[in-house]
Each structure stands twice: as structure tokens, then as C-alpha cells.
């Protein structure tokens, strides 16, 4: 399974065995994340819900449709394959991957309340962007945030995302339709990364997302 390393983090696509750890992350951060998320089903914080979600996420990953990762703190001295603790401290997703002429994906992410302010989200997203551009060969990654979400705005700006628009009543979040700022990051050196005609002819085929420089 995909595992990307940073100085302090393990960023990985989890197996179904991680369901309880993801559920625990959501339970711990219910109050912290609630104002920024849509309404959740009644069983959202249960292990059974996340078993289903992680199975679906694995199917999407193997089909080249998304890369849904969890973040864990890294133990530098641990042997290969055991780099991080079990506790999930964040999630970061590349979803809605579109090929063909678009070559794009959408960023979504959240971080444990206890970990905010340490630069961990920037570290994780920077690594995922490198994977998106170098391994998946995407051209554009998009992200949207509510205007009052200063932390999200700051991390995206630091990563190089540029504001491209303002969407009124964009998503139904925390009980109301909320405005969002629309941003995007274009793959560096786009002239060198432009798909060939052969690539375009194969646009309907999903690429193999398992290849990664870790």
C-alpha cells in the first residue's frame, strides 16, 4: 500500500484494519472539526462505518480515482514498514481525480486539534503534492476553503495555491450554505509536463497509483 514519508510524518493509504483508529480520530475531534464539515450520518464515529469507508477508498485508490490518506507521527528509528504509531492525527485526500484533458484532483484535509500550529499539515500536503505531480502526473490540484478559515488559507498560500474565484453558497456546512474561496496549484514547469498525444489517447484508462517515490 502507498506510504509516503516526511521528516515527522507517515502519510499512507490505510487498510481496513485502521478503521477503529480513524473512528477514534473523528470522535476525538468532533467539536474541533464539526463547524467545518457537512452533516454526518448517525454511525459516522463508529468502527463499522469506517470499515465500509476504507474499503470504498481502497477501491477508488486502485481504480485511480482518489488517494485518501491518514497521517501518523513518524518514529525515525523504527524499521521499514513500521515507521509510525497507530494513532491517526489527520487526514489528507486527493479526490475527484479526472484524467483526459483536465488531469486534476481536489484537496481535502483536517488535523487533530492537539497538533494544530506545528506545521504538520503543510508538511503532509507538500509531500502529497509532490506525489500528485511527480507520480500521478496531475496538472492541477484544487482546494476550497471558507473565508473565515484563516489557517486553511495560510497553509494553501504557503504551498503556492492561487485564488481563482469566490463561490457563493458553495457547500452546505454546519447547517447552512457557506461561501468558499476557490484556489488551485498548477504543476511546476507545465511545458515539460504537458501530456503527449499518446497520453491523451489513453485518457480513459486509469493510471496505476501504486508507483511512488517514498
Strand order of the sheet with strand 9-12? 3-5, 9-12, 67-73, 90-98, 104-111, 140-145, 176-186, 162-173
The per-residue pLDDT of the chain, averaged, comes to: 86
- Report if residue 44 sits inside a domain: yes
53: exposed, middle or buried (C-beta count within 10 Å: 0-12, 13-18, 19+)?
Answer: middle
- Report if residue 122 sits inside a domain: yes
- Report if residue 173 sits inside a domain: no
Residue 27's CATH number: 3.40.630.30
pLDDT reported for residue 213? 35
| Domains contained in the chain, number | 1
- Tens digit of pLDDT for each residue in 33-56? 988 889 899 999 999 999 999 999
Determine which helix (DSSP H) or strand (DSSP E) holds 126, and give its type and residue range. Answer: helix 120-130
pLDDT reported for residue 1? 76
107: exposed, middle or buried (C-beta count within 10 Å: 0-12, 13-18, 19+)?
Answer: buried
pLDDT reported for residue 86? 84
Distance CA 13, CA 63 (A): 14
**Phi first, then psi: what are they for 133, rounded to 5°?**
-85, -40
| Range from 4-13, 154-163, 166-175, 181-190 carrying the lowest mean pLDDT | 181-190
Q: What percent of the chain has pLDDT over 70?
A: 84
pLDDT reported for residue 204? 37
Kindly indicate the confidence band of residue 189, based on its pLDDT and cuts at 50, 70 and 90.
Answer: confident
- Report if residue 202 sits inside a domain: no
At residue 61's C-alpha, the angle toward residues 56 and 67, to 5°, is 105
Nearby residues of 88 by Cβ (< 8 Å), 6 or more positions away: 14, 18, 21, 22, 24, 25, 70, 71, 72, 112
- Report if residue 145 sits inside a domain: no
- Report if residue 184 sits inside a domain: no
pLDDT reported for residue 101? 94
- Report if residue 190 sits inside a domain: no
Distance CA 121, CA 77 (A): 22
- Report if residue 59 sits inside a domain: yes
Calculate Rg over the CA atoms of the chain: 17
- Which range marks the domain in which residue 89 is found? 3-139
* pLDDT beyond 70 at 212: no
pLDDT reported for residue 80? 55
* pLDDT beyond 90 at 128: yes
pLDDT reported for residue 6? 94
Nearby residues of 35 by Cβ (< 8 Å), 6 or more positions away: 173, 174
Amino acid at each position: 500500500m502507498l506510504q509516503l514519508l516526511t521528516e515527522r510524518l507517515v502519510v499512507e493509504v490505510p487498510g481496513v484494519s485502521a478503521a477503529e483508529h480513524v473512528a477514534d480520530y473523528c470522535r476525538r475531534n468532533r467539536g474541533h472539526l464539526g463547524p467545518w464539515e457537512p452533516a454526518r450520518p448517525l454511525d459516522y464515529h463508529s468502527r463499522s462505518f469506517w470499515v465500509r469507508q476504507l474499503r470504498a477508498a481502497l477501491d477508488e485508490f486502485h481504480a485511480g480515482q482518489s488517494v485518501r490518506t491518514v497521517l501518523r507521527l513518524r518514529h525515525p528509528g523504527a524499521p521499514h514498514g513500521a515507521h509510525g504509531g497507530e494513532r491517526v492525527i489527520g487526514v489528507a485526500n486527493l479526490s475527484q481525480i479526472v484524467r483526459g484533458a483536465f488531469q486534476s484532483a481536489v484537496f481535502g484535509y483536517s488535523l487533530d486539534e492537539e497538533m494544530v500550529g506545528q506545521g504538520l499539515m503543510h508538511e503532509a500536503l507538500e509531500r502529497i503534492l509532490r506525489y500528485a505531480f511527480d507520480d500521478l502526473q496531475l496538472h492541477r490540484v484544487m482546494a476550497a476553503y471558507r473565508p473565515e478559515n484563516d489557517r486553511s488559507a495560510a497553509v494553501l498560500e504557503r504551498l503556492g495555491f492561487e485564488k481563482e474565484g469566490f463561490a457563493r453558497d458553495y457547500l452546505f456546512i454546519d447547517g447552512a450554505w457557506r461561501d468558499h474561496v476557490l484556489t488551485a496549484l498548477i504543476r511546476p514547469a507545465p511545458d515539460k509536463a504537458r501530456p503527449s498525444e499518446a497520453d491523451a489517447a489513453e485518457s480513459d484508462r486509469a493510471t496505476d497509483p501504486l508507483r511512488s517515490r517514498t
